[in-house]
Chains A and B, each alone.
Chain A
Amino acid sequence: QKEVEQNSGPLSVPEGAIASLNCTYSDRGSQSFFWYRQYSGKSPELIMFIYSNGDKEDGRFTAQLNKASQYVSLLIRDSQPSDSATYLCAGTGTYKYIFGTGTRLKVLA
């Protein structure tokens, strides 16, 4: 069983819509969760992290964490073509960060 699972996509949304990206994890000991954006051929860049149950908002991005359901999500409001990328979800283990395979998002102009 993969420790962090994501739908590989692609997830296609029209420009201006809300994109919803989801992630589930198996290790209940994971303390924090991170969302990274990765453009093709580039390295991952941190969008935001969350470690408490509930919602955390940062500009157009909202991360949601539900530890009881072992579920993390990222909402992107007013999606732009420049948001087209692969979004990686990561949870923390004892020392390492465990990444999912990523969800490819395509925002259609």
Chain B
Amino acid sequence: DAGVTQSPTHLIKTRGQQVTLRCSPKSGHDTVSWYQQALGQGPQFIFQYYEEEERQRGNFPDRFSGHQFPNYSSELNVNALLLGDSALYLCASSFWGLAGGLNTGELFFGEGSRLTVL
């Protein structure tokens, strides 16, 4: 059973460029969340996708956008990259239907995409 897969694992960009990160959720999962983890910090919630819609968004600017496809996979796009966007970007999947829709489902993380902005 494949877990959460992310690509690419590492990438280097320069300021002002755009980046797309990809995620395939764990088999059976329908919800994808994206997190940004800066060095020495906990993961910060970017947004969550469910049924191909952005369901909730954290405190991130509009430069951060995403998409979920019918097969539940997801993309995170970041435009006009800043030095401060350098971080580990984590995709996490879960099954919303677990526990009758209550948000108690386990969150499974991919290995992350490490973005360096120069």
Contacts and interface: CB of A to CB of B under 8 A. Distances in A.
Interface of A: 4, 6, 8, 31-32, 34, 36, 42-46, 49, 51, 88, 90, 92-102
B73 interface: no
B104 A31 contact: yes
Interface residues of B, number: 26
A56 to B, nearest CB: 13
Contact of A44 (B56, B58, B90): B90
B103 A94 contact: yes
Interface stretch (B14-22, B42-50, B78-86): B42-50
A51 B42 CA distance: 21
A95 B35 CA distance: 13
Contacts of B55: 95
Interface of B: 33, 35, 40-45, 48, 50, 55-56, 58, 88, 90, 92, 102-104, 106-112
Q: Which 9 residue pairs spanning A and B have beta carbons closest together?
A: A99-B42, A32-B104, A43-B109, A96-B45, A95-B56, A101-B42, A92-B103, A99-B43, A43-B112
Contacts of A102: 41-42
A100 B13 CA distance: 28
Contacts of A88: 42-43
21 contacts: A31-B102, A31-B103, A32-B103, A32-B104, A34-B106, A34-B107, A43-B88, A43-B90, A43-B109, A43-B112, A51-B104, A88-B43, A90-B107, A93-B103, A94-B103, A95-B55, A96-B56, A97-B107, A98-B45, A101-B40, A101-B41
Contacts of A100: 42
Contacts of B102: 31
A71 B106 CA distance: 20
